[in-house]
Amino acid sequence: MSQSGGELGSEEMGSSYEVARNAKGVSLQELRDRLAEFAQVRGWDQYHSPRNLLLALVGEVGELSEIFQWKGEVARGLPNWTCDEKEHLEEELSDVLLYLIQLADVCGLDLGKAALSKIVKNARKYPVTNQTPNSTN
């Protein structure tokens, strides 16, 4: 992740293993706060305009899509993937998430509230029916 995310220095965050082990229940707010501090102490926040963050986000989505590009259909749980492939996927998904959080933050939006609101809207738009989904349509 370039110039706006990734991990804080080891003195600030600890090892990747420690971070992952202690990351249960991490909130979007905690991630937002850590990202803001990470960028601020490095002087990178001056470059974090909505446009720049969106372009960085799109780049990371491209990197994420490259992981799946030649794999064909992938089963849930990634049973045929190596540990290295899963770790690479985790890293790219994290990059996308971190840029998305930063973009929402610089736009003054509460991403958590917006996501919950969208779930409610989708529930109204797509009410539960007694029909079983048909994947052949």
- Over residues 74-95, the pLDDT tens digits come to 999 999 999 999 999 999 999 9
Task: State the Cα–Cα distance between residues 28 and 18, nearest whole angstrom.
Answer: 19
Q: What is the CB-side half-sphere exposure of residue 106 using CA atoms within 13 A?
A: 21
Q: pLDDT-derived band of residue 7, with 50, 70 and 90 as boundaries?
A: very low
- Tokens read off for 100: 């998305």
* 130 within some domain: no
- Tokens read off for 15: 């090892």
Residues 6+ apart with CB under 8 A from 15: none
Total domains in the chain come to: 1
> Which residue range forms the structural domain that includes residue 40?
10-68+77-114
Query: Residue 44 maps to which CATH number?
Result: 1.10.287.1080
- Over residues 107-116, the pLDDT tens digits come to 999 999 999 9
- Over residues 37-68, the pLDDT tens digits come to 999 999 999 999 999 999 999 999 999 999 99
What pLDDT is attached to residue 25? 87
Task: State the Cα–Cα distance between residues 96 and 117, nearest whole angstrom.
Answer: 21
* 14 within some domain: yes
* 2 within some domain: no
What pLDDT is attached to residue 24? 75
Average pLDDT, the chain: 87
Residues 6+ apart with CB under 8 A from 56: 2, 3, 4, 99
Q: pLDDT-derived band of residue 14, with 50, 70 and 90 as boundaries?
A: low
